[in-house]
Structures are given as C-alpha cells and as structure tokens.
Structure 1
C-alpha cells in the first residue's frame, strides 16, 4: 500500500517566504501548495484539505487569526502553525488557546520549521491510529458478535445493551475464566464513553500502598521513592471507564476512599491536598461473593450498594453446554490463523470429549485446550490424541448398572468399539492404510497411532 503524501499549505503575503518554505518542505517529501493571503488560503484549504497549514498572522484581505477561526470551524482537527514577528507573540499565544498546533517566530530557523512539520505529521498519524483502534475495538466488542447459543446468556446480552447506554456503575460477577473482562469491554465500547479511555486495574495484584498510588496517584515526596508526581488511574480514565478487577480483594482502607469517589466524584492524590474532580464510570469485577464478604465484615456494605446498581452474573461454561462447540470452533479459527495453520474442524470423538468435560477453568480453559490442540496437531482435523490427556474423563468414569457393558467405563467401551471398526476396515481393505484411513475419515497418522494403541498390526 502506497503511503499517502502529507500535504502542507503555506499562507503568507511575502512571496520570498512562500518560495523558501515551499522548496524546503518539498525536499523533505511533503506535497506543498501556497496562498498569498487569508482569503485565498481559506479557499485552497476548503478545496485541497491539507494536513497542515503554515499561516502568517499579519496579511491583507483576511488576517491569520480570522483565517484560523474559519479553518477550525471547517475542520476542527486541522493542524495550524502560526508564523509571526516577535512583537506579535502574545497574539500567537492567544491563537494556541483557540486551537493552533504551535507557532514560530520570524525570522525563523528552517530546521525548526522542519521539526514542527515532522511533529505535526507524527501527531496526525498517531491520531489516525488511535481512531482506527477505536473503530476496530468498537467492531470487536459489538454485542451481535457475542458468541452464545444459551438463552440465559442471550438475556444477559440484552441487559448489557441497556446498561451500556447508561452511566450506572456495574458489578460483573462470575467464576474465573467466564469472560468478565470481555463483558466490561463490551459495556465500554457500546457506551457513550466509547471515545474515552478504558483503564483496567487488578486490585488483587498490588499491595495496599501501591494500589492506592495506582488508583489515586501521588505527589512528589508522598512516600519514600516518590521522586515525582504520578497521575493515578482515576485521572487517566476521565471521560471513560475504569475496570476494578478482583474488587473483592481491595483492602478496607481503600474501600473508604473508593466510596468517596463514587459518592462525591472527587479524590485527592496520595500526599496531596488538592481536591480533584473526576468523571469516570466504574465497573467492578469479582469471582467472589460480595454479599458473603459483607456478612464476614471484609467488604463495606455501603460500597457494595454503590457498586451494585446493576449486577451481571456470568454463567460457568458447565451451565451452558450448548456453547462449547460454538466457542471451540471460534477458537480453532483464531489459533489456526495465529499459528499459520489451515485447520478444518474437530473429529466427532474429539468434540464429544470437549462437550463432556466439566470446564472448571471455563472459557479461558477451553481456549487454552484448543490452542494446544492446534499446536500439537499435524493435520487439518483435531483428533482426541491432540487434546490433553484425561480430558472429558469426569463424564466417562461413572457407568450405570443394569445394562450391557456394566462394569466398563465409557472410555473402555468407546475404545472397544473403535478397535472393532478399525480391525474390520483393515481386513476389508487388505491392510491398505491409506484406503482405510479415508474410509474411516481420519488421517493416516491417526490410523497408525490407533493400530499401535490397539495392537492391530496383525490385521495389516
């Protein structure tokens, strides 16, 4: 893809300035247009839409300050560098307050001009990358992309859609690995705060002193080692969302400070006296029962009520078995792409093992199992031997009495049947492994593995 050439418009009533700057910036690889007064500059800006404008303040027809205002109205994100004589520096400073990118004093140093143009270009690229990232994240966390066949999870998604449009604090609960952070991301990127920052803090990963500084920031000298001011997460998340993961692990002393932030929308940095206002939506996430912690006296009841405006409880994967195959195939595509593989799917026996597993680690465990299977497999199909040993054994070790095969585990019965099928196919095909594998719908590698496992070498 050819990179778009960065465009600069030079607006100055002095012909010598236009020619000099034009020659210098063209040598730097920029596409340059010029105009001799503010009115012509505004016309060219409207038609050409440059990335950067070098704009003289004192000009006939329309001065630079007036042109700046018109440019900003036309395109609020436009980057404008004011050019001014030393005597008009106060005017240039005023222009900065009105949205100018920077100013430069005549007679100017050409290296400084090149540096400012380079900075403006870098800033534009950064802004474009951030905008692209926001668009990608908005698409990634669209509610209609949430993978589930479970009626209860679909109802949860409908609730998330309603909650996202509000500014209410949210409590997301569920076992580890159920997708609490995914839900928090989805709420943020479907909310009116989607253009703001989304900041995450793990309350269980830091000791009390560091967690307080992490959340609220600190002033220089607040404690030993505090060599300078630190901006905390509440300041960083202004206008956006703050996810407090493992909030049930938060120390009692910090719970008091968090309660004040939620009630008063204000806080102080550690070691500071200035009261700072904040506009942050808080999402708490926990795999523990906060009501139980309240009963035990380790979590404040008033803080629980502040957080518990809306509670979203995520189901463990064992309570939504209809989602196992859906999620497994999703992860197969993802990890196949990530590892440069061309995987087609799961063997039926392998999928049965996935569906029988209890998934104590929930969706996170399923993702890890599928990623491992993609790495271990040498073909395009995931077979049982590609999965971790013992997977699905919870459902296979409790045979029911009173039917043919009592006393055998499910795994033993499956192996017995599988061994018989392979033996018959080998005999039917005169020991031809390629033809046998094709008839059985498995890879030659898997067939060789089964022959060795079941001792069927005599059937070849």
Structure 2
C-alpha cells in the first residue's frame, strides 16, 4: 500500500501548478498550491507537508532563501527544486541547503511521477530505519497461533474475518494470554501487511514523555528535545498501531488519542501543524474497560471508538487441550536455540504441566519451558527436571523413577537451600568437606546464587 502524500506546489506559473495538481491528485495525493514563497511559508505555518515542489526563480523572490526558511521551519520536509533556467552550480547549492533533488523545466508527467516515487522510497526508508532502530531488541516472528481448542479456533475465525477490514479492534484477556500475538496476526492478514506494525507498551512508558512517543516532537519543544523526531503514529503510517495495555494511559492522553482517531490527524508536541495519520488501531487490555469507564478512569467516547470489534482471549486454564501443543512448540524452539535435541516429556511430567493452573498463562508456560530446556540433560524431560527447575513446579512430587545421581542432586539442592547458600554449613550437614561440595555442585549443574556465603 503506497503512501498518499500532502504535497505543496510553490510556483507562480499557473500552467505548471495545474499540470502538477492534475497528475498528482490522479494518483491519490493531496495537492495544495501557492503562487509565491511568502504564500507557501504561510501555509507551512499551519500544515505539515510530505513534499514541497519549489520554483527556484519567482518574481521578487530568491528560491534558495525560501528553501532555507522552509528547512528552518520543517527540517524533515522533503523539497524538490524546479526551474527552467537553473545552472548546475545553483542545483548543487540547493542540495547543500537541504533540497532532496532538482528538476529542470519543462518536465513530463512520467518524470514527475518518477521523482515522487523516489521521494516516497526515501521517506519510507528513513521511517523504516527509525522503526527498526527502536524495535531491534524485540523478537519479530511470524504470528503463529498454536491451538487445538474450540475457543481459540473461534478466535482465529474472527481474526480472519476482521483482519481485511479497517475497523478498530479491542483484544481483551488476562496478561500472557497472547493478545499481542493476535494483534500481529490481524496485521499480517490485513491489507496493511506491507506496512509497519508498531507496538506501544502503555504500561512501561513514562507519562511525561508519552505524548512525545505517540505524536513526536519538534526541536526545542522541551528540555532535551535537540532535534525533531517522529512519533509512533508517523512510524506506523500505512500500517498498524498496537496499543498494549491501553487502560494505563492518562485521561489527558486519552483525549488527544480520541482526537487522532476521529480526525485521523496528529500534531507533534510543540507544534500546531497538522500531520495526516493513516493507521489502523488495535488495542489490548487485561482490565475491564467498561468498569473503568464507570469509575471515570477511561473515556466513554474513546472506549466506543476502540471497541468496534471486541475479541476476548480465554486464559490457558480454560483451554488445557492447547497445553501439549504449546509445550512441544516451545520445546522445539528453545531446543533449537540451545542446540539440544528434546524429544518431549514423560507422561508424568506432561500430566503435571497440563494440570497446573498457569496463572501467568502462555507467557508463564513459555518461560518455564525455556528454563527446563536450559537445564535438561536428557532427551526426555521428566518430573525430576520439574523438581529442580527452580520454578513454581519445583514442589511437585517426583513420580518418575530416580537414579542415584538424581537423588544426590536433589538432596544437595535441598540442603543448600536449607542453609540459605552457606556452603560451609551445607558441607557439614552433608558430611563432606567444602571442596567436595563445590565439585558436586559443579558436576550436577546446581545453580549458584552470587550472594551465597562461602
């Protein structure tokens, strides 16, 4: 999905203005015209443009001076200079002042569209670089929903139906149920799949900089704002903007978000100029937003805007038939990452993991499997592995047969825990010296706490 731009044409030649307007509007762009640099700068004070076509030589005006003023007002705006009599030296000077390129008059329709295409690619690359820079520490994988339960199969059907539309979606469910995965799946199945998927963690952002993160800011708008910066809305142009745990945002930000949703425009912090916001919104919450509305903690009008389609994702304890599939999925993933061949779990271990209530849902299951894989020494994970995994499952009774080494390992672990990591006391209770204890701890790969006493 290619971007449609706000384009300002500054030229005193009415023929050029009309030709540009007809060509560009036919290709979906919004075109605003100005007959002089003074008129163009006045428009720039109130609106933000993606591209400006600027005539170099207008009566009584120096195009290079107008270019300099434009760059002072809007450093990120792309400017293409146009002129009938421009020299190479003048073109070079314009580029040095910040112009993206130079076009000699007369130019054809195809030449204009080619230049617009170059501008679009350049702008898209700049935003993608920023997006990748900010998301480089995030794991970006294809959104695969692993399930065997009727409840999740129904959700997958709903996602398939709502994804191709432009409607807003509200994902509800406990923490760790997979709301973020569902949001990414909606994006991947949508008409915006070629665009970015930008996630906003509403629970982790500091309230004082939240507005800047969402809408961007201009240079000098607050202490530390040493350059103009894109916000999440602009980074998500032609893509999807996902608000995770949206119930955490303040009423003040809710009001500004509502305005952005209704008008599909935003303004950077410290700036009154309007920027188009062509994004699809998906939100997620682990709270009951209707109760939050009743308590005055969430705006009713924003709730209705976000809750056009609501999808509730049930907790893992209500779909236990999904647990074996998820276990195998995570075993394969982490086994591959760690270079280990993990074939599966013993029947008793599978029974224990399936019967556990998983208050942290799929996220807790994923973290538990990762730890089990890290400490696994055989191809089959047993209840012995669960016992010394140092997770909530460690207290489960060991039902699989124990070899002598496993009994020794478990006994040493319990004694070290009993002595709060004091190896001298632990060795005394075990009837061995401290050096032997250290050797056995290393042999059995028993995790050591850095704060333990020697």
Under TM normalisation by the shorter chain, which class is it? 0.5 to 0.7
Aligned equivalent of 1:447: 403
Q: C-alpha deviations, 1:336-393, integer Å up to 9, x for none?
A: 0000111111011111110111101110111111111111111111111212357558
1:290-329 per-residue CA deviation (whole Å, 9 max, x = no partner) reads: 1111111010011000000011111111011101111001
**Superimposed CA distance per residue, residues 422-453 of structure 1 (whole angstroms, 9 cap, x where no aligned partner):** 6xxxxxxxxxxxxxxxxxxxxxxx52346669
The answer on whether the counterparts of 1:357 and 1:391 sit within 8 Å (CA) in structure 2 is: no
Calculate the TM-score normalised by the size of structure 2.
Answer: 0.59
Q: Would you say 1:218 and 2:202 are equivalent positions?
A: no
* 1:330-349 mapped onto 2 (5 Å cutoff): 330-349=329-348
Query: Does the 8 Å contact 1:96/1:102 carry over to 2?
Result: no
Is this contact kept in 2: 1:356–1:392, CA < 8 A?
Answer: no
> Does residue 352 of the first structure (1) align with residue 351 of the second (2)?
yes
The residue number in structure 2 matching 1:200 is 199
CA distance in 2, matches of 1:156, 1:252: 31
Pair 1:368–1:170, CA change in 2 (3 A): same
- Quick check: 1:138–1:189 contact (8 Å CA) kept in 2? no
In the alignment, the residues of structure 2 paired with residue 91 and residue 226 of structure 1 have an alpha-carbon distance, to the nearest angstrom, of 34
Q: Provide the aligned C-alpha RMSD in A.
A: 3.3
Deviations 1:176-223 (A, max 9, x none): 111111001000011000001111111121222200000011122211
CA positional deviation for 1:330: 0.7
1:233 aligns with 2:189: no
3-state SS of 2:195 partner: coil
Q: Secondary structure at the match of 2:222?
A: coil
Q: Is contact 2:145-2:181 (8 Å) kept?
A: no
Shift in CA distance, 88/275, structure 1 to aligned 2, threshold 3 Å: closer
Name the counterpart of 2:274. Answer: 275
The DSSP-based 3-state class of the residue aligned with 1:193 is coil
In the other structure, the counterpart of 2:385 is: 386
CA–CA separation in structure 2 for the residues paired with 1:102 and 1:239: 16
Structure 1: gaps (5+ residues): 1-84, 104-119, 131-136, 397-410, 423-445, 456-460
Equivalent position of 1:99 in the other structure: 114
- Find the aligned partners of 2:270 and 2:367 in 1 and give their Cα distance: 44
Larger C-alpha radius of gyration, 1 or 2? 1
Q: 1:454 to 1:194 in 2, by over 3 A?
A: closer
Render the CA deviation track for 1:120-169: whole Å, top value 9, x for unaligned.
9xx9xx99xx9xxxxxx99923xxx4211110110011000111010001
Alignment check: 8 A CA contact 2:145 2:182 kept: no
1:315 maps onto 2:271 in alignment: no
What CA deviation, in whole Å up to 9, does each residue of 1:217-271 have, x standing for no partner?
1122211222221111111111110011110000000100001111111121111
Gaps of 5+ in 2: 1-86, 92-101, 133-138, 412-454
Give me the whole-angstrom Cα distance separating, in 2, the residues matched to 1:173 and 1:346.
Answer: 32
Q: Aligned equivalents of 2:225 and 2:407: distance in 1?
A: 67
SS at match of 1:243: strand
Q: Equivalent residue of 1:140, what SS? A: coil
Residue 30 of structure 1 corresponds to: none
Compute the displacement of 1:173 (Å). Answer: 1.1
Q: How does 1:136-285 map to 2 (within 5 A)?
A: 140-141=142-143, 145-285=144-284
1:97 positional shift: 4.2
CA distance in 2: counterparts of 1:313 and 1:165, whole angstroms: 19
Q: TM-score, normalised by structure 1?
A: 0.59
Q: Distance in 2 between matches of 1:166 and 1:223?
A: 38
> Structure 2: how far apart are the matches of 1:202 and 1:453?
42
Say if 1:150 and 1:320, in contact at 8 Å, map to a contact too. Answer: yes
Aligned-residue offset at 1:99 = 2.5
**What SS does the corresponding residue of 1:99 show, helix, strand or coil?**
helix
